Amino acid sequence: PTTRNYDFVVEERRGAPDGVEKLMLVVNGQFPGPTIEANADDRIVVNVTNKLPNSTAIHWHGLFQRNTNFYDGTLAITQCGIPPGESMIYNFTFDGYVGSTWWHAHAGTQYTDGITGALIVHAKNESVPAYNGDLAIQMADLYHGFSPALLNLYFTPGGIEGTPGNEPVPDGGTINGVGQYGASNSSFFNVTLEANKTYRLRLINSGSFVAMLFSVDDHVLTVIEADGTPVTPFDVASVSVAVAQRYSVLLHTNASAGAYWMRAGLDQDAFTYDNPGVQTEVRGILRYGVANDTIPDVVLLDNPPNLPSGSPGDLDTDDLVPVGGGPAPDATFSVYFTISMQYTGGPNYLSQFLSFINSTSWEPLQGTSSLFSHLGNKTADGSATLADSQLVTTIDEEHVVEFIIDNLDDGDHPFHLHGHKFWIVGTGAGRYQHQALDNKAPMLRDTLVIPAYTYTILRFVADNPGFWAFHCHIQWHMGAHWSMQAAGLLFQINVLPSESAKFAIPQYMLDQCAKAG
Ligand code: C2O
């Protein structure tokens, strides 16, 4: 095992990922930020220095953080945040997580403005076909506005286009930090590979709102991994990657030598209003057997994709079968909840658009964290209570937990569970009314889309002590920082509290609470 050390300096910078200059929040002056690449038994030590005017926290999406819940990097849940001008060290191992994932700020909407990067874990015994080389492809929607201002518009009475609850529509997107806004801009992320080899493309949607449809002209893609779970390989022409999901696909460089478009199409079904200038497809260039500056023949940005002939269809997530999968264990603890969103006024809320899990909406209180509160008088004001506006489910012994979820909202929500992977044992239209499960070899992952007006049943083994968020990963729905309002589409599970009570949390992390800004 190796210890890998990283220094992350988080700061504001002006940048122009798609040619339009904007205010960004970045790590080490890069967008995307540094890739963390390691072997399964390595230790990762990241020293994060916060040069932002607000507290920040960095989350390692999909990792388990077994017995290091306090390094999960979730503002107001597992820590009070790194105060402006200060540093902290995250120190963790992978505990069996292998495959493709990413890291991002988990404080307000900071990651929308650029604080994201790939995180790749290699293992010799990973159950995937052999490949010759691999490449992380981060796709993200892109906003020319600064995210706190967009969030504010989203909530408030005037709203966007006069309607609170209209999610900001992106102006375009990026592939590995490069996009194309307007016809005159022709910078592309590009890569030159070797001919007649097999490459593993690690697709990551590090965006804030919309799914991205990825394809490479004239090439079939073989899906082999989703969210760190190896899957029975199957061929597709394109892969729809929801926010925060990851897929690995194999690509064979065996078409004729040339330069080909990689395409990442923004899912326009998610758009809540018309944004006339939006660039709905981002491109990159993938080439082999030709010079490094060769570009594809057709440079027009609006020509239709040239998908492989007789091509397989898009990825249908029903096709995902985990390698060696079998039925999920029977549930021993069940939680039923509904998802809804509405404009509200009332004693506990500002008049704003809010999300509800059952009837609660998550709202962080300045200088608090659920974990530290649970451990006793360790919040800024000495109180040990959580905000009463949030749902926390305590699981005080090891259980197979079942979530039965009715999405009563008219939007699709990509939900993510921290610290665990779940089996997807049931989905269907309408409300849950004791429909039969589909539990032969359910997919095991950490992020899934719960479509509008459908139910979903998940199961997971709650054996990892600490406070873990379960939330919609759409930044406008999850974004929460005490410096701003929050839609609050999040709830927490408090797993094995008698175990987390034994955590040795570094004193300086507790001291951060008094300085949270
Ligand atoms: Cu990608 Cu709450 O995380």
Q: Identify the residue whose C-alpha is closest to ligand 1 atom 3.
A: 61
| 478 CA distance to ligand 1 middle (Å) | 9
Selecting from 3.40.50.1100, 2.60.40.420, 3.40.50.150, 1.10.1740.10, what CATH number does the domain 134-319 have?
Answer: 2.60.40.420
pLDDT of residue 348: 42
Give the number of the atom of ligand 1 that is nearest the alpha carbon of residue 490: 2
* pLDDT for residue 367: 86
Cα 415 from Cα 318, distance rounded (Å): 17
| ipTM computed for the complex | 0.99
Question: 78 alpha carbon to ligand 1 midpoint, in Å?
Answer: 12
- Non-local (6+) Cβ contacts of 139 within 8 A are 173, 174, 175, 203, 204, 205, 206, 207, 212, 214, 241, 264, 282
Report how far residue 356's alpha carbon sits from residue 337's, in angstroms, rounded to the nearest whole number: 10
**Sequence-distant (≥ 6) Cβ neighbours of residue 434 within 8 angstroms:** none
118 alpha carbon to ligand 1 midpoint, in Å? Answer: 13
Atom of ligand 1 at shortest distance to CA of 418?
2
- Atom number of ligand 1 nearest to Cα 244: 1
Q: Do domains 134-319 and 333-515 have the same CATH topology?
A: yes
What ligand 1 atom has the least distance to the C-alpha of 469? 2
Contact criterion met (CB below 8 Å) for 214 and 264? yes
Q: What would the pLDDT profile of 427-470 be if each residue is shown by its tens digit?
A: 999 999 999 999 999 999 999 999 999 999 999 999 999 999 99
Please name the helix (run of DSSP H) or strand (run of DSSP E) that holds residue 470, with its range, or none.
strand 466-472
> Which of 69, 197, 229 minimizes the C-alpha distance to 133?
197
Distance, CA 39 to ligand 1 centroid (Å)?
Answer: 22
Compute, in angstroms, the gap from residue 60 CA to the centroid of ligand 1.
8
Task: Report pTM.
Answer: 0.95
CA of 17 to the centre of ligand 1 (A): 23
pLDDT beneath 50, residues of the chain: 301, 346-349, 377-380, 382-384
User: If you measure from the C-alpha of residue 202 to the centroid of ligand 1, how many angstroms do you get, rounded to a whole number?
Assistant: 18
CATH class of 333-515: mainly beta
CATH superfamily of 3-126: Cupredoxins -  blue copper proteins (2.60.40.420)
Q: φ, ψ for residue 348 (rounded to 5)? A: -95, -10
User: Ligand 1: residues within 6 Å at CB?
Assistant: 59, 61, 74, 104, 106, 244, 416, 418, 469, 471, 473
The whole-angstrom separation of Cα 149 and Cα 137 is 28
CA–centroid distance, residue 271 to ligand 1 (Å): 22
The pLDDT, as a whole number, for residue 306 is 61
Instruction: Tell me what pLDDT residue 385 has.
Output: 52
Q: Which two tokens stand for residue 8?
A: 């992350």
pLDDT score of 342: 82
Q: What is the DSSP string of 273-317?
A: S--TT---EEEEEEEESS-TT---S---TTSPP-PPTT---B--G
**pLDDT at position 468:** 97
Closest ligand 1 atom to the C-alpha of 61?
1
Instruction: List the Cα angle 121/420/339 in 5-degree steps.
Output: 125
Tell me what pLDDT residue 448 has.
97
Q: Is the dihedral of CA 91, 31, 123, 319 positive or negative?
A: positive
Per-domain boundaries in the chain:
3-126, 134-319, 333-515
Nearest CA to ligand 1 atom 1: 61
Count of alpha carbons within 13 Å of 68, Cβ hemisphere only?
Answer: 18
User: What is the atom index within ligand 1 of the atom nearest the CA of 447?
Assistant: 1
